[in-house]
């Protein structure tokens, strides 16, 4: 089931980061809210959601103006 917490569609929610460890490359936290099903408009209540993820770093360099 595809759902989103889009305020424009009536969804709402909170996300709290409880751990941010740049050295270990980890971020973790909790989330909750009301999401709206994209297909039929039904509501889905999310409670006690948790996440833990690896932080990916990417270095991007841009050439100076006029160089390609």
Q: What is the pLDDT of residue 5?
A: 59
The answer on pLDDT for 62 being more than 90 is no
- The Cα-based distances of 15 to 39, 59, 67 in angstroms read 24, 27, 42
Residue-wise pLDDT tens digits, 28-52: 999 998 888 777 888 889 999 999 9
Dihedrals phi, psi of 41, to nearest 5 degrees: 80, 5
What's the half-sphere exposure (Cβ side, CA atoms, 13 Å) at 45?
1
């Amino acid at each position: 089931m595809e759902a989103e917490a889009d305020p424009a569609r009536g969804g709402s929610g909170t996300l709290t980061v409880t751990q941010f460890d740049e050295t270990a490359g980890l971020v973790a936290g909790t989330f909750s809210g009301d999401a709206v099903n994209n297909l039929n408009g039904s509501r889905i209540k999310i409670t006690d959601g948790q996440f833990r993820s690896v932080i990916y770093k990417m270095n991007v360099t841009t050439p100076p103006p006029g160089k390609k």
